[in-house]
Every structure is written in C-alpha cells, then in structure tokens.
Amino acid sequence: MGRMAERCFSAQTVIGRPASEVFAWVADHRNVARVLDGVRRWEPLGDLDRGLGARFAVAMQVLGLHLENVLVLDTWDEPRAIGWRSESGLIAQYGYWRFTREPGGTQVTLTIGYRPPGGALGGLVAGQVDAIVRGRLEAALDRMKDILEASPPSASAG
C-alpha cells in the first residue's frame, strides 16, 4: 500500500463578538491550551510570540502518545486568518483559523490537517486519531464561544 493521504478536519461556530475581538483572543498563544484538549504546551520560541514567522514549541497528547512539534505561523491576516504549519516533529501538520464577519458576530472556522505516519501503525492509529481530532476541534470552539460570549465586550470601560 502507498503512503496514506493527508487528513483534514474542520469545525465551525458563530461567536457573538466582532472579528477583531475573536482574532485578538486567538492571537494570544496562552489561550490555545485553555480550549484545545490534549495540548500540554504551546510556548513561543524566541522573542516573537505573534505574527508571521512566530515559532512555537508545542506538545500534545493523543492516544497516550506524547507528540512534540515546532510550529511556525505562516498566515497572519488580521482580523481574518491565522495559520500554521509544522517545521519538525513526528507527524507533519498544518492548520488555520478563519474569522468571517456575520450579522451579530463572527463565524469561526478551525481546520487542522496532518499526515499520519506510514505503515500498519499509521493505518491503525489514523481512524482513532481522526475521531479524537474532530471531537477536540468542536469542543475547542464550544469552549471559546463560552469564554468570549461570557466576557463583557472590550469596549466597555470598568
């Protein structure tokens, strides 16, 4: 059998906040681990912690496997999109956030793609990982929506 194809998952929600606010929240790397299950570490490498070219040491747990990656931000289009790809790590991955203005808020799309390792192990693990990844994306967006909609609008002073 040939190499396994790349796998890609997306989840969407609408958050009752302006795109600029949602973008700013996602742009703060400390918020990632607050909402994304399995992420143990998401720390900047070097001084740059936002914007194009910012690099992060990321550690996540999937099916008891401890995965470490270096991710680099390759899309930074405020307030519309933030994207990344892995520079190193066992599993090549990429992903992006898209923020689209809608009446009454912002449609948020979170997409993650990865290439499973080859061989029988890859095939065995991929099916289980797919379900976990999809569930985590949906849970992350739900949590983010709860957090952002519970906080007062940033325009309010005191």
What's the pLDDT at 30? 92
Residue 158 counted as domain residue: no
Residue 156 counted as domain residue: no
Residue 24 counted as domain residue: yes
Asked if the peptide bond before residue 79 counts as cis, ω within 30 degrees of 0, the response is yes
CATH number at residue 106: 3.30.530.20
What's the pLDDT at 115? 81
Question: What range does the domain containing 54 cover?
Answer: 7-150
What's the pLDDT at 153? 67
Q: How many structural domains comprise the chain?
A: 1
What's the pLDDT at 156? 43
Place of tokens 């390792």: 117
Q: For the chain, give the number of residues.
A: 158
Ranges of residues in the chain with a pLDDT under 70 are 1-4, 119-124, 153-158
Residue 155 counted as domain residue: no
What's the pLDDT at 2? 45
